[in-house]
Structure 1
Amino acid sequence: MNSQKPTVKQRVRKFTGNFATIACLVMYFSYIEQIIANFTGHPVSPVQPFFASINALLWVIYGWVKPDKKDWPVIIANFPGIIFVLVTAVTSFVH
C-alpha cells in the first residue's frame, strides 16, 4: 500500500492539470455564443474556428496515441472543441 504523501510539485502539477482542463472546456463551450450569432444573422469568420477545431483534433489524437498510456485530461479537455468549434465554422455559412 502506497501511503506516501504527494510532494508539493506533484500537487501543483495535478492542480495545474485540472485547472487547465477546466479552462479549456470553458473556452470551447464559449463557442456556443458564436454559434447563436451565426444563426441570428451575425456570422463570425469561419477561419479561426476551423483551425481551432483542427488544433483540438490534433490534441485528442496526441492524448489517445501516447505510447505509455492515454492522456485523459488532454482528451477530455479538447474533445468538445472538435464539435463546438467545427459547428461554429460550419454555421458561419448559414444565415
Structure 2
Amino acid sequence: MKINHRISTVKDKERISTKKLTLISRLAICTCCLMYISYIPQIILNLSGKPVSPLQPAAATINAVLWVSYGWLKSYKDWPLIISNIPGVAFGLVTLFTVYFN
C-alpha cells in the first residue's frame, strides 16, 4: 500500500508542477509581450519628429531574435519562448525603422 500511495503522490506532484509551469509560462508570455508593446510611445515620438535613442530598441531586437532562434532551434520547439519574443522582434524593428526613417 505504501508503494502505491507514494507513486500516486509523485504523480500528483508532477501534475501540480506541470500546472505551475503552464501558469508561469503564460504569465511570462503576457509580461514579455507587454514589455515589447511599451515601445508604442517611442514609435509615436519617432513619428512625431522627436526620435529616441536607437540603442535600447536595437539591443532588445537582437535579444528577441536570439531568444526566438534559440526556442526554434531546440530539439523541441519552445513555443512560450518563441511566442513571447516575436513581438520584441516586430516592435524593435519598427522602433528602429522609425528612428531613422520618420
TM-score range, shorter chain: 0.7 to 0.9
- Kindly indicate whether residue 88 of structure 2 is the aligned counterpart of residue 91 of structure 1: no
Structure 1 gaps, min length 5: none
The count of aligned residue pairs is: 91
Task: Give the helix-richer structure, 1 or 2.
Answer: 2
Q: 1:9 aligns with which of 17, 29, 32?
A: 17
Question: Secondary structure of the residue that 1:43 maps to in structure 2?
Answer: coil
Give me the TM-score of the superposition, normalised by structure 1. Answer: 0.86
Q: Larger C-alpha radius of gyration, 1 or 2?
A: 2
Q: 2:83 aligns with which of 76, 80, 90?
A: 76
Relative contact order, CA 8 A, sep 6+: which one is greater? 1
Q: Aligned residue for 1:63? A: 71
C-alpha separation in 1, matches of 2:82 and 2:30: 12
C-alpha separation in 1, matches of 2:19 and 2:83: 20
Q: Aligned residue for 1:32? A: 40
Give me the TM-score of the superposition, normalised by structure 2. Answer: 0.80
